[in-house]
């Protein structure tokens, strides 16, 4: 019998409850007598420990006998020793340990739950702070500002709807007055409708009945601060002789 066997097989509990075989009980008593330091580490009443130390293997001729002083102390501890009383005391000790262990586990679970709530609260607070910062940034971006300069752009329309900016205007700070000339030389139509939508589908503006000039160009002037950063899809429709619109061309503005 060794320490690992004692722990794995719950020898101490079974010894106190009387469930060990005679051979197992004798081996346990012998191990405790030969390893007093291990015996002192066990959660057992002192009278039980003294009882184990006092019980040498009587048929062993080589067993070392304790000194007279030690034997007298063990005999004094042995007086009135009642195995049933010792077992009952051990059950009370284990019951108290079980209650303490349950309280400790409950406190640990409560602490973990509180930590989890605190982490969720911090994450939610950070998310709200980021959303607020983004909202402030967007609000600042779309505030109308007087243009500091004027820049002219000549644009050739694409026949198909573009998926990416065909005209990248870059970083427009300070604000610019965008003087846009759209080539409308193709065809005989003279009146056009210009629709500007943001890439997320939000309609920004729609200008109807725009006449091309003598150079067969459509002229638009936009304040870049009115649009804000993002991609803007521009659709140009031409009015036919019935007053109905027909798709004429596309381009996409990219503002940063």
Chain segment 181-223, per-residue pLDDT in tens:
999 999 999 999 999 999 888 899 999 999 999 999 999 998 8
Asked whether the beta carbons of 154 and 183 are under 8 A apart, the reply is: yes
Domains in the chain, ordered, with CATH?
3-81 (no CATH), 149-255 (2.60.40)
The DSSP-derived string for 94-151 is HHHHHHHHHHHHHHHHHHHHHHHHHHHHHHHHHHHHHHHHHHHHHHHHHS----SEEE
C-alpha torsion angle, residues 85, 89, 94, 96 (rounded to 10): 140
Output the pLDDT for position 171. 65
Instruction: Indicate the DSSP class of residue 216.
Output: S
Chain segment 127-166, per-residue pLDDT in tens:
777 877 766 665 555 577 888 888 898 999 999 999 999 8
* Token pair of 140 as six digits: 């600042």
Greater model confidence, 124 or 183? 183
- pTM (2 decimals)? 0.45
Maximum CA extent, the chain:
130
């Amino acid at each position: 019998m060794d320490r690992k066997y004692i722990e794995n097989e719950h020898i101490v509990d079974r010894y106190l409850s009387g469930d060990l075989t005679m051979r197992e009980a004798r081996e346990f008593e012998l191990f405790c007598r030969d390893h007093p330091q291990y015996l002192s580490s066990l959660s057992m009443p002192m009278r039980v420990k003294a009882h184990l130390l006092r019980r040498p293997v009587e048929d062993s001729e080589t067993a070392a006998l304790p000194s007279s002083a030690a034997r007298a102390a063990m005999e004094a501890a042995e007086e009135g020793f009642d195995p049933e009383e010792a077992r009952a005391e051990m059950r009370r000790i284990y019951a108290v340990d079980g209650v303490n262990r349950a309280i400790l586990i409950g406190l640990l679970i409560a602490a973990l739950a509180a930590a989890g709530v605190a982490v969720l609260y911090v994450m939610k607070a950070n998310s709200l702070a980021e959303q607020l910062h983004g909202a402030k940034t967007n609000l600042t971006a779309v505030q109308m500002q007087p243009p500091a300069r004027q820049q002219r752009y000549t644009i050739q329309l694409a026949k198909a709807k573009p998926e990416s900016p065909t005209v990248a205007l870059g970083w427009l700070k300070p604000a610019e007055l965008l003087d846009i000339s759209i080539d409308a030389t193709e065809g005989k139509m003279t009146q056009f409708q210009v629709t500007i939508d943001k890439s997320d589908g939000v309609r920004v503006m729609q200008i109807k009945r725009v006449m091309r000039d003598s150079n067969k160009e459509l002229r638009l002037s936009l304040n870049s601060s009115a649009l804000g950063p993002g991609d803007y899809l521009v659709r140009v429709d031409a009015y036919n002789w019935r007053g109905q619109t027909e798709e004429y061309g596309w381009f996409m503005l990219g503002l940063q």
